[in-house]
Chains A and B, each alone.
Chain A
Amino acid sequence: MSPDTSTQTAGTRAGSANGAIVSAKKVRKTYLRGKEELDVLQDLDLTIHEGAFEALMGPSGSGKSTLLNLIAGLDRPTSGTIEVAGVDVGALPERARAKWRAANIGFIFQTYNMMPVLTALENVELPLLLARLSGKERRERATTALEVVGLKERMQHYPRELSGGQEQRVAIARAIVTDPRLIVADEPTGDLDRKSADEILKLLERLNQEFNKTIIMVTHDPHAAERAKKVHHLDKGALL
């Protein structure tokens, strides 16, 4: 996959200093539950280097999904900074963060979240609707992404005609179609059987090794975590 020059115009794709693609410093995230403040992350420091494949593990409520959301620019830290590819994501206003996400982040969710009325190809094309590309270019890129995940022959199928594993592969194709530098995966194998989960994990490994994609994966599954090059354990909002 070549760098997507068109999507660079939609957001910032700044380079990183010292090889770190993610640099979290003193990150704190607090939610208000009624009048009570709930500390989900507490003064957390984390560095992830470009090309890494790292897993975040921890019990429910440990803050791993919150940390992933902050890294992906879906949310802002209460205090501290998170730089991703040299950009202080938390400092970006809402609209700029959305454009930045479109250009830099590929999302993989536990539930595949395909649009049921669109074919696999059209679902993969969705993020490209935000880029200034012709229909032909969009289709070519989406086809390439589906080829990478081994589903080119199923590109005209609707989600209901695909298995869970195949749907998740389409979701991965959607995540890589804009050629993002960072892929965040929230429980990507959580809804899959062991065989399908293995296929997905192999695909993530391949994206990491062959295409040098940096992958951060939240998981409960020790088997999934084993495939990562490094595992971070969180508990009560702090890295262990």
Chain B
Amino acid sequence: MTGVAVRNLRRNPLRTLLTIAAVMVAIITFVTLRTVLSAWTAGADYAAKDRVGTRHKVSFIMTMPRRYVQEVRDVPGVKSAASANWFGGKDPKHEQEFFANIAVEPKDFLEVYDEIVVPEDQRANWFQTKNGAIVGDAIAKKFGWKPGDRVTLRGTIFSGDWEFVISGIYTATRRSVDRSSFYFHYDFLNDDPRGVYTRDQVGWIVSRIDDPGRSAQISQAIDAKFEERDIQTLSMSERAMNTSFIGMISAVLKVVDVVSLVILGIMALIVGNTVAMGVRERTHEYGVLRAIGFLPKHLAVFVLAEAVAVSAFGGVLGSLAAYPLVERLLGRFLEENVGGFFPFFRIDPQTIVAALLLAAVIGVVAAALPAYSASRLNVVDSLRRTG
């Protein structure tokens, strides 16, 4: 019986194709928006469980004394710690391009972030070169940078032009790592007269701990250590730290979340309208089916099966089309251009499963009212109506 219903899709091929296309567009949009959400929160989702972040208790943008790094290392349970300072420079040749550039202590940094991989010779070169920097493979590819190149960044926080040498290019073994960042020596910034305002200050500290299950206790222990100082700290797991950063843009993410659901609502209305038109046009035919013995539930099955077939077919095609569109075109573009926000822009398989299930469910929801109407048709009245 459902076979007959599905065959009905051939009755008005143009309308069916347009409805399937509408469902496809809705599904592609849904998958794209959900991928934006998952990519944006990837830093939190894929954060290392054995890392704790420490920042100024008042705000992210306020600095702490450099000596805090060593004091954090001394806290029981902390294996290693590294500081980081936001530099905020721009490449004058690519003024419009944003990428993170951060001053770090190279050895400590690579010890804490062991998912950042730098070839051994380039690593050694970086350690020895005071104005050396390592850059992610994505930004290196984008700007055509290679080891040995001289790169100038113009400071937006620290004045003037700063000359660097590319010591190495890093890759990442973890999805949360931004492959478009620029890391250079803390001392290069700290020893420069232009860095006087943050001399011996650090932006934040990231620690590696020995037991991920104790991250809350270790965070408390770190903060307790500085409780009586002029500058207190706020420590939390890397995941919580990333989430708190995401919290600053939570309103935007919420809007994206809502819009992705609104898209599905629009899809339901489109499918519902198509199905309702079909039911109206076939009133007489449904009357004939009822006359020859089909029950109201059979008519409901006809209508529902047709709607689910359209939605599911559109859902499958939309999902198939989403992969090349979202991953190969949009994803590649975003990773290369705004990797700081979208370090890993890939479709989560769960998003596809959700899209397919929702497409089928929406088919049922959209057809519920028309199916009910069809099942309630009066046989004699239906037979009187033509067209």
Tell me the A residues contacting B by CB distance below 8 Å.
10-11, 69, 72, 74-75, 95, 98-99, 101-103, 107, 109, 111, 113, 115-118, 122, 126-127, 129-130, 174
Which one, B2-10, B78-86, B141-149, is touching chain A? Answer: B2-10
Query: Roughly how many angstroms separate A72 CA and B383 CA in the complex, as a whole number?
Result: 13
A74 contacts which of B8, B11, B383, B386 (Cβ < 8 Å)?
A: B383
The number of A-B residue pairs with CB atoms under 8 Å apart is: 54
Query: Roughly how many angstroms separate A75 CA and B381 CA in the complex, as a whole number?
Result: 10
Residues of A near B383 (CB, < 8 A) are 74, 109
Which one, B127-135, B292-300, B318-326, B328-336, is touching chain A? Answer: B292-300
Q: A98-B294, A102-B293 are in contact. Are A107 and B288 (CB under 8 A)?
A: yes
Does any Cβ of A come within 8 Å of B277's Cβ? no
Residues of A near B386 (CB, < 8 A) are 111
A126 contacts which of B292, B295, B379 (Cβ < 8 Å)?
A: B292
Residues of A near B10 (CB, < 8 A) are 117
User: B293–A10 contact, CB under 8 A?
Assistant: yes
User: A98–B290 contact, CB under 8 A?
Assistant: yes
User: B7–A113 contact, CB under 8 A?
Assistant: no
Residues of B near A130 (CB, < 8 A) are 293-294, 298
Residues of A near B379 (CB, < 8 A) are 74-75
Closest 4 CB pairs of A and B: A102-B293, A113-B288, A117-B7, A127-B292
A117 contacts which of B1, B11, B293, B380 (Cβ < 8 Å)?
A: B11
What per-residue 1/0 map shows which CB atoms of B268-296 lie under 8 Å from chain A?
00000000000000001100111111110
Of chain B, the residue at the smallest CB distance from A72 is B291
Residues of A near B7 (CB, < 8 A) are 117-118
A116 contacts which of B11, B290, B291, B293 (Cβ < 8 Å)?
A: B11
Q: Could you write out 24 A-B pairs with CB less than 8 Å apart?
A: A74-B291, A74-B383, A75-B380, A95-B295, A98-B290, A98-B293, A101-B292, A101-B293, A102-B292, A103-B293, A107-B291, A107-B292, A109-B288, A111-B386, A115-B8, A115-B285, A117-B7, A117-B10, A118-B7, A126-B289, A129-B1, A129-B4, A130-B294, A130-B298
Of chain A, the residue at the smallest CB distance from B6 is A117
Of chain B, the residue at the smallest CB distance from A175 is B292
Of chain A, the residue at the smallest CB distance from B379 is A74
User: A113–B8 contact, CB under 8 A?
Assistant: no
**Separation in Å of the B299 CB from the closest CB of chain A?**
11
Residues of B near A118 (CB, < 8 A) are 4, 7
Residues of B near A107 (CB, < 8 A) are 288, 291-292
B295 contacts which of A69, A98, A174 (Cβ < 8 Å)?
A: A98
Residues of B near A69 (CB, < 8 A) are 380
Query: Roughly how many angstroms separate A115 CA and B290 CA in the complex, as a whole number?
Result: 14
Of chain B, the residue at the smallest CB distance from A101 is B293
Residues of B near A103 (CB, < 8 A) are 293
Residues of A near B285 (CB, < 8 A) are 113, 115
Tell me the B residues contacting A by CB distance below 8 Å.
1, 4, 7-8, 10-11, 284-285, 288-295, 298, 379-380, 383, 386
Query: Roughly how many angstroms separate A166 CA and B66 CA in the complex, as a whole number?
Result: 94
Residues of A near B288 (CB, < 8 A) are 107, 109, 113
**Separation in Å of the A58 CB from the closest CB of chain B?**
17
Query: Roughly how many angstroms separate A10 CA and B293 CA in the complex, as a whole number?
Result: 10
Query: Roughly how many angstroms separate A101 CA and B294 CA in the complex, as a whole number?
Result: 9
Residues of A near B298 (CB, < 8 A) are 130
Residues of B near A11 (CB, < 8 A) are 293
Query: Roughly how many angstroms separate A103 CA and B288 CA in the complex, as a whole number?
Result: 15
**Separation in Å of the A234 CB from the closest CB of chain B?**
17
**Separation in Å of the B73 CB from the closest CB of chain A?**
75
Of chain A, the residue at the smallest CB distance from B292 is A127
Residues of A near B294 (CB, < 8 A) are 98, 130
Query: Roughly how many angstroms separate A103 CA and B291 CA in the complex, as a whole number?
Result: 11
**Separation in Å of the A236 CB from the closest CB of chain B?**
20
**Separation in Å of the A223 CB from the closest CB of chain B?**
24
A113 contacts which of B1, B11, B284, B380 (Cβ < 8 Å)?
A: B284
**Separation in Å of the A75 CB from the closest CB of chain B?**
5
Residues of B near A75 (CB, < 8 A) are 379-380
**Separation in Å of the B17 CB from the closest CB of chain A?**
15
Query: Roughly how many angstroms separate A126 CA and B245 CA in the complex, as a whole number?
Result: 62
**Separation in Å of the A215 CB from the closest CB of chain B?**
16
Residues of B near A111 (CB, < 8 A) are 284, 386
Of chain B, the residue at the smallest CB distance from A186 is B383
Of chain B, the residue at the smallest CB distance from A10 is B293
Query: Roughly how many angstroms separate A39 CA and B137 CA in the complex, as a whole number?
Result: 87
Known: A10-B293, A101-B291, A101-B292. 15 other contacts (CB 8 A): A11-B293, A75-B379, A75-B380, A99-B293, A107-B292, A109-B383, A111-B284, A111-B386, A113-B288, A118-B7, A126-B4, A127-B292, A129-B1, A130-B294, A130-B298
**Separation in Å of the B223 CB from the closest CB of chain A?**
71
Of chain A, the residue at the smallest CB distance from B8 is A117
**Separation in Å of the B296 CB from the closest CB of chain A?**
8
Of chain B, the residue at the smallest CB distance from A31 is B380
Query: Roughly how many angstroms separate A103 CA and B293 CA in the complex, as a whole number?
Result: 8
**Separation in Å of the B207 CB from the closest CB of chain A?**
68
A115 contacts which of B1, B4, B291 (Cβ < 8 Å)?
A: B4
User: B292–A74 contact, CB under 8 A?
Assistant: no
Query: Roughly how many angstroms separate A11 CA and B292 CA in the complex, as a whole number?
Result: 12
Query: Roughly how many angstroms separate A116 CA and B288 CA in the complex, as a whole number?
Result: 14
Residues of B near A109 (CB, < 8 A) are 288, 383
**Separation in Å of the B297 CB from the closest CB of chain A?**
9
Residues of A near B8 (CB, < 8 A) are 115, 117
